[in-house]
């Protein structure tokens, strides 16, 4: 049998297993204890447990009937108006003998990429079958869901996971998989995940598969990002007005093939943590922000990066 990716292998099955967003998870637990689930929209960044918590909620509400009484549609499915008229309506009309107070659950993942027409068609379906079927929308931005649907749903917002929460789950997996690691490796995983649990677990598994030992150098090779210590040295040289040394380190990164967006993004992350007086930090972040904007507009040249670091020298 094929080994499951660790993201799936260690995916929480119950609400108690979910890490982070305690207040929102408590609200979901109270829905389970009352047994009356409203239509819901869960919004937040990718990889922080939105879809997983809906599945855990459905599993705890429906028990053995979970597979029979839930329909999940993802952004990868065609989700135009025809899917709403056929698949969703058909599922809502299907008779399933459920215990009193229980309803069927339709899970719409990446709901913000549904067409406006399909969202409009859902309004009526939600009203007609409200006695037997409840809808759960998981999305990155709830503002992309039309107002009439928003007003029919309870809206829950998920926040980014903090470093301690990601660390606790990574250590759990490391123990179960007997992974060899050091502290710098864990710090690198947390730094590169930016609050995304799925990203952190995938990077951990990729590093183990590629190098069998999790340290900072191996992690940054896997995620293909410049090492933050090099970026930190560049910024420190700039603050000391030693532009030649900074450019020399930048040359090393550029010839290794790192793109302008990688270097600018890492510079932004490192500048937030560098030990320098507040006014200087704000000036640095402002300059990095301007260059980030230009790079995203398509001017991703070596000259932009040299300009950025020379501007920081002038601070």
Residue 231 has a CB neighbour count (10 Å cut-off) of 25
Question: What are the domain boundaries of the chain?
Answer: 6-157, 163-223, 228-314
Query: What band does 75 get if pLDDT is binned at 50, 70 and 90?
Result: low
- Cβ-contact 218, 186 below 8 angstroms: no
Whether residue 79 is predicted with pLDDT greater than 80 in this model: the reply is: no
Per-residue pLDDT reduced to its tens digit, 148-175: 999 999 999 999 999 999 999 999 999 9
How far are the Cα atoms of 85, 91, 96, 106, 282 from residue 68, in angstroms, in the given order? 20, 10, 8, 11, 55
Chain segment 241-287, per-residue pLDDT in tens? 999 999 999 999 999 999 999 999 999 999 998 888 999 999 999 99
pLDDT in the model for residue 2: 59
H and E: helices and strands count for the chain: 17, 7
- Structural Rg of the chain based on CA atoms: 24
What CATH class is the domain 6-157?
A: alpha beta
Residues 6+ apart with CB under 8 A from 97: none
Mean pLDDT across the stretch 230-247? 94
Percent of residues, the chain, with pLDDT higher than 90: 76
Q: What is the mean pLDDT of the chain?
A: 91
Over 60: is that where the pLDDT of 185 sits?
Answer: yes
* Pick from 219, 171, 187, 176: nearest CA to 9: 176
Question: Residue 111 and residue 278: Cα distance in Å, rounded?
Answer: 40
pLDDT of 226 strictly over 50: yes
Mean pLDDT of 281-310: 94
Tell me if 253 sits within 8 A of 306, measured CB to CB.
no
Return d(Cα 40, Cα 126) in angstroms, integer. 12
* 245 in Cβ contact with 209 (< 8 Å): no
Q: What are phi and psi of 135, to 5 degrees?
A: -115, 140
Distance CA 35, CA 13 (A): 18
pLDDT band at 1 (very low <50, low <70, confident <90, very high): very low
- For the segment(s) 163-223, the CATH number from 3.40.50.10800, 1.10.8.60, 3.40.50.300, 3.40.50.1100 is 1.10.8.60
Closest listed residue to residue 157, CA positions, set 130, 185, 135, 138 = 138
Angle between helices 197-211 and 216-223 (to 10 degrees): 110
Q: Which CATH architecture has domain 228-314?
A: Up-down Bundle (1.20)
On the CB side of 272, how many CA atoms lie within 13 Å of its CA?
7
**3-class DSSP state for residue 269?**
helix
> Residue 3 pLDDT more than 50?
yes
Question: What confidence tens digit (pLDDT) does each residue in 106-143 have?
Answer: 999 998 888 888 888 888 889 899 889 999 999 999 89
Contact 59, 66 (CB under 8 A): yes
The stretch 185-199 carries a mean pLDDT of: 93
């Amino acid at each position: 049998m094929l080994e499951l990716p660790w993201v799936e292998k260690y995916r929480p099955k119950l609400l108690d297993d979910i890490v982070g967003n305690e207040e929102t998870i408590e609200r979901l637990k109270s829905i389970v204890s009352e047994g009356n689930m409203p239509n819901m929209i869960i919004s937040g960044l990718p990889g922080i447990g939105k879809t997983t918590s809906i599945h855990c909620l459905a599993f705890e509400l429906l028990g053995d009937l979970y597979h029979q009484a839930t329909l999940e549609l993802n952004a990868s499915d065609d989700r135009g108006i025809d899917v709403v008229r056929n698949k969703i309506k058909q599922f809502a009309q299907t008779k399933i003998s459920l215990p009193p107070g229980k309803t069927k659950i339709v899970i719409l993942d990446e709901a913000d990429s549904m067409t406006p027409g399909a969202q409009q068609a859902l309004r009526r379906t939600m009203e007609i079958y409200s006695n037997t079927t409840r809808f759960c929308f998981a999305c990155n931005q709830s503002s992309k869901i039309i107002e009439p649907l928003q007003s029919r749903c309870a809206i829950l917002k998920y926040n980014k996971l903090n470093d301690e929460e990601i660390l606790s789950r990574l250590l759990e997996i490391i123990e179960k998989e007997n992974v060899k690691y050091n502290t710098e490796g864990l710090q690198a995983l947390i730094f590169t995940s930016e609050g995304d649990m799925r990203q952190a677990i995938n990077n951990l598994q990729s590093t183990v598969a590629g190098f069998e030992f999790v340290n900072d150098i191996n992690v940054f090779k896997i995620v293909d990002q410049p090492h933050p210590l090099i970026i930190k040295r560049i910024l420190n040289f700039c603050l000391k007005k030693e532009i030649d040394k900074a450019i020399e380190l930048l040359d090393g990164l550029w010839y290794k093939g790192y793109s302008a967006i990688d270097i600018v993004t890492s510079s932004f992350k490192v500048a937030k943590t560098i030990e320098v007086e507040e006014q200087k930090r704000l000036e640095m972040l402002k300059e990095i922000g301007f260059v980030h904007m230009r790079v995203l507009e398509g001017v991703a040249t070596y000259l932009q990066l040299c300009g950025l670091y020379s501007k920081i020298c002038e601070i």
